[in-house]
Amino acid sequence: MARIALVDTSVATEREKTIYHRFPANLVAGLLRTTPDIADGYLALGAALSSSPLAPRIREMVILRVGVLCGSSYEWMQHADIATSVGVGQDELAAIQSGEFSTLTEGERAVLRFVDDMVAQPKAGTAAFDGAVAVLGEQGAATVSLLTGFYMMTARFLETLEIDLDAAPTSWENA
């Protein structure tokens, strides 16, 4: 049970209901306990990151790895099926969970080492950064950096407030 009462959408304001229905999940019901502007801005950034030029397969691997490293079962629940739908197989999911990346491509290993470095410390080391840039280019490395930070923030919000898992994953289609 969440540490705070989630916004009850049956008695929410029209604006809160509109925001909630963009991504109808306990995460958003929790975000609405801040302000509608914060919840709306969070969803806008999440949607922008989701539609970035970053390959969907890499995006989902990054999100799942951040979820693992931050102990967020919510992030895993919301993104495992998405990852599968963009070509991440069961062996790759297991590698993301375990941190044993030998079954991944060299590029995927470089990206996930970059993520591991950023989660472990505020500034990724030179080798991890250079490896990510070699695979993704500067735009991709910058995007992965922001994506990692966004999902670290999300994990901290979810875990600190003990936001309950949803009954099923929610789609970003309306965000």
pLDDT digits (tens, 9 = 90+) for 14-51: 999 999 999 999 999 999 999 999 999 999 999 999 99
pTM score of the predicted model? 0.95
Task: Indicate the average pLDDT of the chain.
Answer: 96
- Please provide the DSSP assignment of 27-74 as one string: HHHHHTTT-HHHHHHHHHHHHHHHTSSS-HHHHHHHHHHHHHHTT-HH
Band (171; pLDDT cuts 50, 70, 90): confident
Domains along the sequence of the chain with CATH:
14-50 (no CATH), 55-161 (1.20.1290.10)
Residue 153 DSSP SS3: helix
Give pLDDT, residue 172. 64
Q: Specify whether the CB–CB gap between 135 and 107 falls below 8 A.
A: yes
